[in-house]
């Protein structure tokens, strides 16, 4: 799930490695001002720059990378830095924030849990320029529909802020997607708690292992995401205007809370695995004790029976009328002794649990 599409080693910086099976790009433009909003598709990328007009925010949303010429056309139209296009297309990159001469680049990644429980973490690349925002998605990911609807609905601060607020709103929508998955994994751990004590089935451990793997994945993308958002908030950073920074700080707190949830879930998963193993080991010891007791008591008795089963012609005890009963007496004495011995060692009988008030 970590596989990255890399250009061949030694390739020229800026070489694109289009992910296989990425569909033909659909270029969706959303253009709005305080009073006006329009959504339409564009085919001819050379016409894109002409669309940008003052007082309007122009959002160019590129869905699909299946046509290198078209992508390079967009890059040329907006004069993107060659590295910027590489970062947008050679997915997945580490979440990051980078500022170029006349536009900023932000890469955000959002986890998606597949039907098989596997977590993939597709990326979206944001290019924030003066009056425009370009987003690059490998394919239609569905992260942005709610925001587009809000733009069309109007109201709220969206329509009165610039392209930086739009970028914030989209990144915030992506960060929001971490929470339900982290929560689901955290809940799954809590659900397993009871099984660990009551019924230490090996399946429990397999589940814990699976959850831990998913948490490692989440953590691996969550930490750079937090870092990237922090970087956008540095005082000297030209990413966001002051009023939008207030909102971004809120997103930063969300991702921090998520990362902490992930980290404490990992700790709990670890503790739970330990508790499972201890429980299994305790049960195994109990089984062992029973074996030891049975064997230790009956092995000597069986030996005695064996002795008097021997066919020597001359075994004096065998002729004694009381012999059989004496032997039984000896056997019972041995058993009683063993039981007392084991009890004195604390191997028989239930030990007391600590008092509940502690």
Footprint on residues 147-176 left by its own copies (CB under 8 A): 147, 150, 156-158, 169, 172-173, 176
Contacts of 225 (CB under 8 A, 6+ apart): 95, 108, 109, 175, 178, 255
* Residue 294 binding its own copies, by CB under 8 A: yes
Beta-bridge partners for 127: 105, 134
d(CA 35, CA 188): 47
Tell which one of 22, 31, 63, 87 touches its own copies (CB under 8 A): 87
Task: Select from 9-17, 38-46, 53-61, 66-74 the region that touches its own copies (CB under 8 A).
Answer: 9-17
- Report the Cα 313 to chain-centroid distance in Å: 78
Task: Compute the C-alpha angle 226/231/234, nearest 5°.
Answer: 130
C-beta of 51 vs 179, nearer to its own copies: 179
* Residue 69 binding its own copies, by CB under 8 A: no
Task: Select from 19-27, 28-36, 124-132, 217-225 the region that touches its own copies (CB under 8 A).
Answer: 217-225
C-beta of 47 vs 320, nearer to its own copies: 320
Burial of 249 (0-12, 13-18, 19+ CB in 10 A): middle
Name which of 96, 251, 242 is nearest 169 in CA terms: 251
Distances in Å between the Cα of 35 and the Cα atoms of 29, 31, 162 are 17, 11, 14
Helices within 2-99 (DSSP H only): 48-51, 68-77, 82-89
Residues 15-54 that bind its own copies (CB under 8 A): none
C-beta of 130 vs 274, nearer to its own copies: 274
* Residue 344 binding its own copies, by CB under 8 A: no
d(CA 166, CA 134): 11
Pattern 117-136, its own copies, x by CB under 8 A: --------------------
Task: Compute the C-alpha angle 131/137/143, nearest 5°.
Answer: 85
Number of helices followed by number of strands (H, E) in the chain? 10, 9
C-beta of 162 vs 323, nearer to its own copies: 323
C-beta of 46 vs 264, nearer to its own copies: 264
Tell which one of 29, 280, 334, 339 touches its own copies (CB under 8 A): 280
Tell which one of 2, 55, 69, 349 touches its own copies (CB under 8 A): 2
d(CA 255, CA 174): 10
Name which of 66, 63, 61 is nearest 5 in CA terms: 66
* Residue 309 binding its own copies, by CB under 8 A: yes
* Site size toward its own copies, by CB under 8 A: 132
CB of 282 to its own copies, least distance (A): 5
C-beta of 108 vs 261, nearer to its own copies: 261
Determine contact, residues 111/121, Cβ cutoff 8 Å.
Answer: yes
Tell which one of 36, 234, 277, 329 touches its own copies (CB under 8 A): 277
The token pair that represents 159 in the structure block: 């329509």
CB of 153 to its own copies, least distance (A): 9
Tell which one of 290, 330, 332, 336 touches its own copies (CB under 8 A): 290
C-beta of 12 vs 21, nearer to its own copies: 12
Pattern 243-272, its own copies, x by CB under 8 A: ---xx-xx--x--xx--xx--x--xx--x-
């Amino acid at each position: 799930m970590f596989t990255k599409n890399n250009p061949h080693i030694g390739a020229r910086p800026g070489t694109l490695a289009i992910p296989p099976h990425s569909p033909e790009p659909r270029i969706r433009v959303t253009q709005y001002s305080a009073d006006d909003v329009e959504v339409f598709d564009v085919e001819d990328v050379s016409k894109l720059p002409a669309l940008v007009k003052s007082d309007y925010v122009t959002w160019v949303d590129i869905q699909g990378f299946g046509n290198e010429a078209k992508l390079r056309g967009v890059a040329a139209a907006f004069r993107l830095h060659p590295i910027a296009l590489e970062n947008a297309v050679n997915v997945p990159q580490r979440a990051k924030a980078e500022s170029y001469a006349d536009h900023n680049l932000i890469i955000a990644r959002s986890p998606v849990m597949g039907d098989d429980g596997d977590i993939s973490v597709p990326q979206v690349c944001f290019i924030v320029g003066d009056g425009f925002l370009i987003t690059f998605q490998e394919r239609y990911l569905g992260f942005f529909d709610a925001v587009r609807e809000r733009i069309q609905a109007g109201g709220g601060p969206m329509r009165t802020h610039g392209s930086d607020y739009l970028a914030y709103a989209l990144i915030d929508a992506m960060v929001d997607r971490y929470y339900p998955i982290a929560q689901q994994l955290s809940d799954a751990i809590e659900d397993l708690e009871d099984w660990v004590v009551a019924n230490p089935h090996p399946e429990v451990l397999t589940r814990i292992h699976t959850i831990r793997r998913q948490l490692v994945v989440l953590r691996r993308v969550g930490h750079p995401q937090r870092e990237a958002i922090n970087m956008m908030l540095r005082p000297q950073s030209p990413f966001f205007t002051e009023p939008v920074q207030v909102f971004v700080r809120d997103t930063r707190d969300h991702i921090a809370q998520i990362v902490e949830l992930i980290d404490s879930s990992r700790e709990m998963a670890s503790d739970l695995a330990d508790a499972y193993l201890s429980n299994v080991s305790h049960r195994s010891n109990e089984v062992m004790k029973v074996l030891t007791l049975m064997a230790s008591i009956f092995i000597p008795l069986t030996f005695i029976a064996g002795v008097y089963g021997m066919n020597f012609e001359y075994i004096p005890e065998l002729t004694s009328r009381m012999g059989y009963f004496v032997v039984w007496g000896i056997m019972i004495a041995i058993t009683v002794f063993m039981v007392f011995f084991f009890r004195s060692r604390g191997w028989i009988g239930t030990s007391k649990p600590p008092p509940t008030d502690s």
